[in-house]
Amino acid sequence: MVSARSSSPAPHAARGPALAARGRSAGLLALIAGLALAGCAQTQGPAGETASAPAAPAALSAPADPALADPAAVDPAAAALASAPIPESYQDLLDRHGVPFQVPAQGKAILVNVPSYELIAFEDGEPVIRSRVIVGRDVAGDRTPEMTTETSVVRFRPTWRPTPLMISRGDYEDKIWPPGRNNPLGLLAIRLEPGMLIYLHGTNRPELFEKEARALSGGCVRVERWDEVAAWVLDVDVDEVHRLANGPDTFDMQTAGVPVMMRYFTEFPDPQGQLQAYNDVYGQGGSAYAVAAQVAALD
């Protein structure tokens, strides 16, 4: 090898990598050295002959870290996540069970299903509150109607007067019931458009929610989780609902007009997503699908 400090002209044969520093950058040197290690470069021998560089050590040609190529190969949690099914939406669940109900994909909505005695509050297509309810008795004039409407106001500490039908049947005496816990509407009532006499409300007899068959009202829907539903409809904290419901005043709070759909499905998924069959409370006959087809005309 000829020293870089020699004043003698470099022999022609020395124009290989040994004297590449003359006129070449350090970066190019590093590139050439790397190529040589990888077995991609050639060197010149003394007579100008070329010879392949030695093969790269085995370690340099080892496969990449398997965790980089496939994290699931070394991480059981990642493997489980990769193989987990994509969660279905509530609408997918209904469709899979063949239940003919369309959940609004955006915003808030309420479904009351009479045969299952249940209220479901939906937000952006998914259930956020499920509550047991009491619906109208299977008596002419008392059956909870199938309809599509919307909330108007929440009336805190309502008064109540029986309907003429209730009075004529002797269900109640004709008087105005003052607000409070003994009022049949409970401590609040969610009123529905357009000025309907069917409400979603509390009750002065919460023990009735423990009954399996709950067709017991005069047509209104008594809601076990009335406070949570009202707070959700009004978009306020449930503690605020409790404070107002236990205050001294009777007054209304305007709502944003949450859609309310009262339906009659004798087959409907339970909270675990399993399809359940329910009693034909009002003796309408046929499957839930036939009934839903009739209700569709109301929408």
Percent above pLDDT 90 for the chain:
63
Residue 167's pLDDT is 94
Mean pLDDT: which of 11-20, 211-220, 286-295 is highest? Answer: 211-220
Show the CA angle centred on residue 220, arms to residues 188 and 242, nearest 5°.
Answer: 15
Q: What is the distance between the alpha carbons of residues 206 and 182, in angstroms, rounded to a whole number?
A: 11
14 — pLDDT class (breaks 50, 70, 90): very low
Cite the DSSP H helix spans in 116-266.
164-169, 226-234, 238-245
State the fold for domain 102-298.
L,D-transpeptidase catalytic domain-like (2.40.440)
Residue 64's pLDDT is 56
Q: Which residue has the higher pLDDT, 291 or 133?
A: 133
Average pLDDT over residues 192-215: 96
What is the number of other CB atoms lying within 10 angstroms of the CB of residue 261?
A: 23
Average pLDDT over residues 45-60: 46
User: Tens digit of pLDDT for each residue in 84-122?
Assistant: 667 799 999 999 999 999 999 999 999 999 999 999 999
Residue 282's pLDDT is 98
Provide Rg for the chain, Cα atoms. Answer: 39
What is the number of other CB atoms lying within 10 angstroms of the CB of residue 187?
A: 25
Q: Are 245 and 256 in contact (CB under 8 A)?
A: no
Catalytic residues: 201, 220
Choice among 72-76, 107-111, 135-139, 178-182 with the minimum mean pLDDT = 72-76
Show the CA angle centred on residue 157, arms to residues 151 and 160, nearest 5°.
Answer: 85
Mean pLDDT of the chain: 81
Average pLDDT over residues 244-251: 98
220 — pLDDT class (breaks 50, 70, 90): very high
- Residue 186 reports pLDDT greater than 70: yes
Average pLDDT over residues 64-77: 60
User: Tens digit of pLDDT for each residue in 27-49?
Assistant: 544 544 454 444 444 444 444 44
Average pLDDT over residues 135-143: 96
Phi, psi (degrees; rounded to nearest 5) at 269: -70, 140
75 — pLDDT class (breaks 50, 70, 90): confident
Residue 83's pLDDT is 66
Residue 84's pLDDT is 62
Domains in the chain: boundaries: 1-53, 102-298
285 — pLDDT class (breaks 50, 70, 90): confident
Half-sphere exposure in the Cβ direction for 218 (13 Å, CA): 19
Residue 87's pLDDT is 74
Assessment of whether the complete model's pTM goes beyond 0.85: no
Residue 69's pLDDT is 56
Q: What is the distance between the alpha carbons of residues 224 and 212, in angstroms, rounded to a whole number?
A: 14
Percent above pLDDT 70 for the chain:
68
